[in-house]
Amino acid sequence: MRIEKVELRRLRLPLVRPFETSFGRVDDRTFLLVTVHGGGVEGWGECVAEAAPFYSAETAATAWHVLRDFLVPMLAGAELSSAAEAWHRMTRVRGHQMAKAAIEMAAWDLDARQRGVPLWTLLGGNGRPVASGVSIGIQPSLDALEARVDAELADGYLRVKIKIKPGWDLEPARRLRERHPSLALMVDANAAYTLADADHLAGLDDLSLMMIEQPLEYDDVGKHAALAARLSTPVCLDESIHSVGIAEDALDRRACRIINIKPGRMGGHLQSRLLHDLCASRGVPVWHGGMLESGIGRAHNLHLSTLPNFTLPGDVAASRRYFAPDLIEPGIDVRSDGTIDVPSGPGIGVAIESGRVKSATEEYWCSA
C-alpha cells in the first residue's frame, strides 16, 4: 500500500445544541480531516483535538502543525505492508497521539478500501451491531436534565452518562436514579475533583452507578488508586490512559476497574486494539468513548467497537444528536433496540458528502 499524497482540512461545524462539561461550554466543533490517497482510492481520518487545550494538551492548531511538518512527511510516498505499519513509522515523534491517530486511522480506511473489505475485518472485529449509550452535558436545571434524559431514552439509548462537576454531582445523579431505578447510569467528571473530595464522591455509592469516569487529574494514576480503594462505585479512566504502558500500570495498581478507549487519545487503531487486548487478558471491560466526532470519526469508532471486549455501551451515538447535516450520508442512526448497525461497505463504509466538507472547510493543505 503506497500513500501517494495527503490532504489536511480544518473544519468548523455548529453543534445541534451546546455541550457543557467541567471544562466549559462549546457551541461548535473545530476539527481536522485527513485524507490519504493511494491506488485511486481515498482513506479518511478525523483528528479529535479540540480548539482549546482543556481535554488534552493537543489542539487543532498543534495537530495541524505536527501533521503537516512531521507526520505527513514520514508517510507521504511511503510503501506500507499494511495500515498497522503507519504507527511504527511515526514513533520518532513523541506524544501528539491525536495527530498520529488522524493519519493512522485514515491509513486503515485506505487499506480496507483497497482490499474491498469493511474496516472491522482488518481490526479483528465481528461486524455485529454496536450497543449505544449517550453522553449528556451539564444542563441549566435539574428539570432540564430530566427532560433531556427522557428524550434520549425515548430514542432507544441503552445507557446514559451525565457530566458532573463540583456543585453539580450528587443531586443530578440522585434525581435520575429516583426517576429511572433500573437505568444504566454513569457519571463523568473530566478530572474536576481532588482526592480531598473522596468522602463527597462516596455519596454516589448508594446510587448503583455503572462507574464514575475520570474523577481526578488526567496524569495521576496513584491518586486514582487511592480513591478507587475508598469507593464502591467502579472507577473508569479516560484522560489518564494515553498509552498501553500507562494502562498496564493503572491496572496493576488497581486505579480503575473499567477503561474507556478512544483511538484519538491512544494514537489510532493499532494502539487501541493493543489496549483492548490487554484489558481482555485482565478481565477488565472496555467501552468506546466519544469526542463529538463527525460521522467520519464516528464510523471509525463503530468499526473498532465490534472487537469482543467492548462489552459496555459506548458513546457512539446518532449523527443527528450533534450535527445537522453531518458530513456523511446517510447519517449514523440508532435502532429501536438501542444498537447501531456497522457500515458494511469497504473501509469505514460511509459516503462522504464532499460539498458539505468543502463548505465547512476553513483551511486546506495538500502534500502533493
Of the residues 5, 100, 223, 262, only one is catalytic, namely 262
C-alpha 266/C-alpha 100 separation (Å) is 9
C-alpha cell at 352: 462522504
Q: By C-alpha distance, which of 212, 215, 214, 253 is closest to 234? A: 212
CB atoms within 10 A of CB 139: 18
CB atoms within 10 A of CB 7: 18
Q: Burial level of 296, CB count in 10 A (0-12/13-18/19+)? A: buried
Collapse the DSSP code of 185 into the 3-class scheme (helix H, G, I; strand E, B; otherwise coil) and give the result: strand
Of the residues 161, 163, 165, 223, only one is catalytic, namely 163
Residue with cell 487478558: 281
C-alpha cell at 6: 495527503
Q: By C-alpha distance, which of 215, 208, 250, 254 is closest to 232? A: 208
C-alpha 60/C-alpha 330 separation (Å) is 27
- Cβ-proximal residues to 65 (8 Å cutoff; 6+ apart), any chain: none
C-alpha 316/C-alpha 157 separation (Å) is 10
C-alpha 5/C-alpha 153 separation (Å) is 44
223 flagged as catalytic: no
C-alpha cell at 288: 468506546
CB atoms within 10 A of CB 277: 15
Phi, psi angles (nearest 5°) of residue 25: -110, 140
Tell me the C-alpha to C-alpha distance, in Å, between residue 225 and each of 57, 62, 259: 23, 32, 14
Active site positions, annotated: 163, 262
